[in-house]
């Protein structure tokens, strides 16, 4: 089965995860895809394919006779997507794309070259887009389809290779994918996630990440008799936001710059709650962000009284660069694999996180490769068939490289 066919099948299955759920996986619909993948792997002759107790699909292809002692390489993608429970993906396929703007179905939306200049580079390719009403799901069903196609390629090839481990995780989009993945059972020495965007993407520097919640307790009295008595929780919330650096927000930052992002605000005079995500690539700057938040809590409690403001700060994941730099062959070999596939490596920091960030700190060094897609998490999401095929070639080249690494 070709990668295009697989991809189009997988995106038809709604696998939206749910951050409010306490189960693993967070939604049963992810298991529909998981079961399909296990069945397909077994048809390919990979009979050890299975779903573990947390909804992860795991499988492995045994090493060739002369590569039994080679390092064990893994490839990982995630099955869940963002979106809505009732999303029904209806992709458009533009054969021999002409490099111009694309009307997305009857939605009135247009995938424009001015917004996404790389579209010009896809002239002559087969472009897959949305119909303008949902996401496409290339994040990360492109990665899933590419790994599955690699499995078929390896099973039908005489190319010598070490043991190859395959993993598909649920709940990456809600930050739970790597947390519930059994690294020891997976069995790889090193791995790559397939969860980036453009072909040639190579990422090993991600954010340090945390959540920060301010809970504010006010004192409500009749406004006519409020002087010296009222403490307005909503006003204090406004003050908290004003005490943070104005320029350190997502819409004004890029590359290695960090931010405080107010994701939710609710409240009234009596009570208010502010939820932030806090991000920075640099560990020292990340620590300073926490100190800034703690200082705000301290200053406001001194002004309004003890326990008026309570900060709950929780770290989510760390920058995997610290781990990958100790295993830098993963980056050098990925660049070599791309060059052999005539793909230019694009090394850039991830302004987010991946399963690989968590897995790297759990003993499985795991940088991230691009899948060939772009504009993830929205109606302008798109990918080319040729981009996916290039990614498969890159993975195949990595398999060949690591067959000689002992």
Residue 78 in marked binding region: yes
To the question of whether residue 199 is assigned a binding role by annotation, the answer is: no
Is 140 part of any known ligand binding site? no
Backbone angles phi, psi at 339, to 5 degrees: -60, -35
Question: Is 139 marked as binding a ligand?
Answer: yes
Consult the annotation and say whether 173 binds a ligand.
yes
What residues are annotated to the active site? 80, 172
Instruction: Collect all residues with Cβ–Cβ distance below 8 Å to 176 and sequence separation of at least 6.
Output: 17, 24, 26, 170
Binding site for Zn(2+): residue ranges? 78, 139, 173, 195, 377
Binding site: residue ranges? 78, 139, 173, 195, 377
């Amino acid at each position: 089965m070709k990668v295009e066919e697989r991809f189009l099948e997988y995106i038809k299955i709604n696998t939206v995860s749910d951050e409010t759920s306490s189960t693993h996986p967070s939604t049963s619909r992810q298991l529909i895809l998981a079961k399909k993948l296990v069945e397909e792997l077994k048809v390919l002759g990979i009979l050890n394919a299975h779903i573990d107790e947390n909804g992860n699909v795991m499988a492995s292809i045994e090493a060739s006779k002369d590569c039994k002692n080679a390092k064990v390489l893994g490839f990982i993608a995630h099955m869940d997507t963002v979106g809505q429970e009732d999303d029904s993906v209806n992709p458009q396929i533009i054969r021999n794309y002409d490099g111009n703007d694309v009307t997305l179905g009857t939605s009135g939306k247009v995938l424009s070259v001015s917004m996404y200049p790389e579209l010009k580079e896809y002239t002559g390719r087969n472009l897959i887009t949305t119909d303008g009403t949902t996401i496409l799901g290339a994040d990360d069903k492109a990665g899933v389809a590419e790994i599955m196609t690699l499995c078929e390629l390896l099973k039908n090839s005489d190319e010598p290779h070490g043991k190859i481990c395959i993993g598909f995780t649920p709940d990456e989009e809600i930050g739970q994918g790597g947390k519930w993945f059994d690294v020891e059972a997976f069995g790889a020495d090193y791995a790559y996630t397939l969860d980036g965007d453009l072909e040639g993407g190579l990422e090993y520097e991600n954010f340090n990440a945390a959540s920060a919640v301010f809970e504010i307790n006010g004192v409500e009295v009749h406004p006519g008799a409020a002087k010296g008595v009222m403490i307005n929780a909503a006003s204090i919330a406004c003050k908290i936001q004003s005490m943070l650096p104005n320029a350190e927000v997502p819409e004004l930052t890029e590359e290695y710059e960090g931010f405080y992002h107010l994701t939710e605000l609710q409240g009234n005079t009596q009570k208010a709650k502010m939820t932030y995500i806090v991000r920075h690539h640099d560990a020292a700057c990340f620590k300073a962000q926490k100190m800034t938040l703690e200082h705000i809590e301290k200053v406001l409690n001194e002004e309004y009284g003890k326990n008026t403001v309570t900060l709950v700060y929780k770290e989510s994941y760390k920058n995997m660069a610290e781990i990958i730099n100790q295993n830098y062959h993963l980056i050098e070999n990925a660049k070599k694999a791309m060059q052999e596939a005539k793909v230019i490596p694009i090394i850039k920091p991830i302004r987010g996180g991946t399963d690989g960030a968590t897995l790297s700190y759990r003993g499985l060094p795991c940088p991230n490769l691009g899948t060939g897609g772009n504009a993830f998490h929205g109606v302008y999401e798109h990918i080319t068939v040729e981009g996916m095929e290039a990614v498969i070639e890159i993975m195949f080249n990595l398999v060949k490289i690591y067959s000689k690494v002992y």
